[in-house]
Homo-oligomer: A and B are copies of this chain.
Amino acid sequence: MKSLHRPDLYTWSTFDAERNVDFNSIAWVRADGNVLIDPLPLSEHDWSHLQSLGGAAFIVITNSDHIRDAAAIAQKTGAQLLGPQAEQSTFPVPCDRWLKNGDEVVPGLEVLALNGSKTPGELALVLEDLTLITGDLVRAHRANALMLLPDAKLKDKAAAIASVQRLADLEQIETVLVGDGWSIFQHGHQYLQALVPTFASVA
């Protein structure tokens, strides 16, 4: 796994030829059990690396299009699976906990549930105030610029705008780790703010 901007954060990626971006997964290593977010299949090397760092106790799936290898990894590690509460009735994987806006995955990892995206209640996570982790709604198909899921994939554009505005209101965000594409490591708040007028102007 690759080292992110904090010594306790790692990522691994798979190139998606359809969109020409990397899909990304995150591991947060912590004394009370590691947290994986939207885990892709791990290579043998990355699996050994993860094991050497303590395996996984919790796996958060931000939305039903990001199941990836979560179920198999949960089975191998014994990790709990956590999914978005708004998808509970139709979620393709049985979860141990269902997350809604305002919940905490574990102390320091807060849940935001977003509206209007391609699935209901898509999860975003805030790690210790400074790092935002997104699933599908906020993404980056080119380096150094965030973007939103294309209009055609949004269920309710006005609701999505309102949700992105909530992310843009998080003034302390420095880093935005995206599930799909290029993450931002400086001035994340400004990049999120830049999303809103762009988006609103075409609403």
Contact = CB atoms under 8 A, between A and B. Distances in A.
A143 B185 contact: yes
B2 A21 contact: yes
A76 interface: no
A49 interface: yes
B4 A142 contact: yes
Contacts of A182: 2
Nearest to A145: B5
A1 interface: yes
Contacts of A20: 1-3, 49
A34 interface: no
Interface in A166-203: 175, 182-183, 185-187
